[in-house]
């Protein structure tokens, strides 16, 4: 019952679901229970609620079945509660372009439904997220420093993307729970090293840091306990290209091992490798893997905007 009541709050406050609207829940076998709670909540709110259960995808960024993609385009409101992310898919992009209000919940757990990031003041999250998004859009270069390692890349000409947790207008989409500003780096320009010490999507929380070396936008070396598994997930093609840089803006989010919440934690940044064609980039890799870094220093155009994870005033 609590899952249903929480779901009703999410649908009302974050999605502005109204009676009579077409509401689609896309779930897979691992997330069936949460999908059913969302469907029941939508039904109780008077929406024309539909639940589609698909087979679990193999990895984040993999497209859903054609029937699911078509249903997403034809719905007023969609929530995707799945094990692997549908955020960076053509299906999500086309649904939003068609006017669907859409939230993705990759890896969502019952605990995350009831605690942590979902309980944030989303009006407050929205303000901070939009401020950081504007900073990213105006900047041309990024430098991330941590533990003596430095990674730098270009974001010139790219627009920041806000994931505010509030998708109330036609075509708005993002994660729930949410709270991040992100951008697609210019392909082929990232050089240096980055120390990942938070979590990795598809792997979870990491106990020992992972050191990645990038040359011309591509991972050329990975050292650490998670290195081999990460490279296996990314494959040996464009999955190893830097595709995203993001900054967490949700002060209630926790590092749990599920990147959906981890990448929203205030005080963290994340980088992702693989597809970014759905938010301003050119990489189409069939995979998108996020890696979370705790308490880094971040420079935009050589101006320090984050010190040990704390955002400095503009």
Cα separation, 17 vs 33, whole angstroms = 21
Helical axes 90-97 vs 66-73, angle rounded to 10°: 20
Residue 9 burial (CB count, 10 A): 12
Topology adopted by domain 2-114 = Thermophilic metalloprotease-like (3.40.1830)
Distance CA 153, CA 164 (A): 25
Q: At residue 68, what are phi and psi to the nearest 5 degrees?
A: -70, -45
Torsion sign across C-alpha atoms 256, 262, 268, 272: positive
Q: Which residue's entry shows tokens 């938010």? A: 279
- Spatial contact of 84 and 60, defined as CB atoms under 8 Å apart: yes
pTM for this model (two decimals): 0.85
The HSE-up count of residue 250 (CA atoms within 13 Å, CB side) is 31
Per-residue pLDDT of the chain (314 residues; tens, 9 = 90+): 889 999 999 999 899 999 999 999 999 999 999 999 999 999 999 999 999 999 999 988 999 999 999 999 999 999 999 999 999 899 999 999 999 999 999 999 988 888 888 888 888 999 999 999 999 999 999 999 999 999 999 999 999 999 998 999 999 998 899 999 999 999 999 999 999 999 999 999 999 999 999 999 999 999 999 999 999 999 999 999 999 999 999 999 999 999 999 999 999 999 999 999 999 999 999 999 999 999 999 999 999 999 999 999 75
Q: Where are the domains positioned within the chain?
A: 2-114, 120-311
């Amino acid at each position: 019952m609590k899952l249903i009541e929480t779901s009703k709050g999410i649908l009302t406050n974050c999605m502005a679901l109204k009676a009579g609207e077409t509401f689609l829940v896309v779930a897979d076998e691992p997330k069936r229970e949460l999908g059913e709670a969302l469907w029941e909540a939508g039904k109780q709110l008077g929406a024309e609620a539909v639940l589609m259960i698909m087979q679990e995808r193999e990895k984040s960024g993999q497209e859903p079945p054609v029937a699911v993609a078509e249903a997403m385009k034809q719905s007023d409101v969609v929530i995707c509660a799945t094990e692997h992310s549908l955020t960076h898919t053509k299906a999500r992009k086309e649904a939003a372009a068609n006017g669907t209000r859409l939230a993705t919940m990759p890896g969502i757990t019952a605990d995350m439904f009831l605690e942590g990031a979902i309980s944030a003041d989303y009006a407050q999250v929205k303000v901070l997220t939009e401020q950081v998004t504007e900073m990213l859009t105006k900047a041309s270069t990024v430098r991330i420093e941590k533990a003596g390692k430095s990674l730098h890349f270009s974001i010139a000409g790219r627009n920041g993307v806000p994931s505010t947790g509030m998708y109330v207008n036609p075509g708005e989409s993002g994660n729930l729970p949410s709270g991040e500003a992100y951008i697609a780096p210019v392909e082929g320009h990232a050089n240096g090293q980055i120390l990942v010490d938070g979590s990795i999507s598809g792997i979870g929380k990491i106990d020992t840091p992972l050191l990645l070396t990038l040359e011309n936008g591509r991972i050329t070396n990975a050292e650490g306990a998670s290195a081999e598994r990460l490279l296996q997930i990314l494959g040996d093609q464009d999955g190893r290209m830097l595709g995203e840089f993001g900054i967490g803006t949700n002060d209630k989010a926790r590092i749990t091992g599920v990147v959906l919440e981890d990448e929203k934690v205030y005080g963290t940044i994340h980088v992702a490798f693989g597809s970014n064609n759905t938010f301003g980039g050119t990489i189409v890799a069939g995979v998108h893997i996020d890696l979370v870094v705790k308490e880094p220093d971040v420079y935009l155009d050589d101006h320090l905007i984050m010190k040990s994870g704390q955002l400095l005033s503009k």
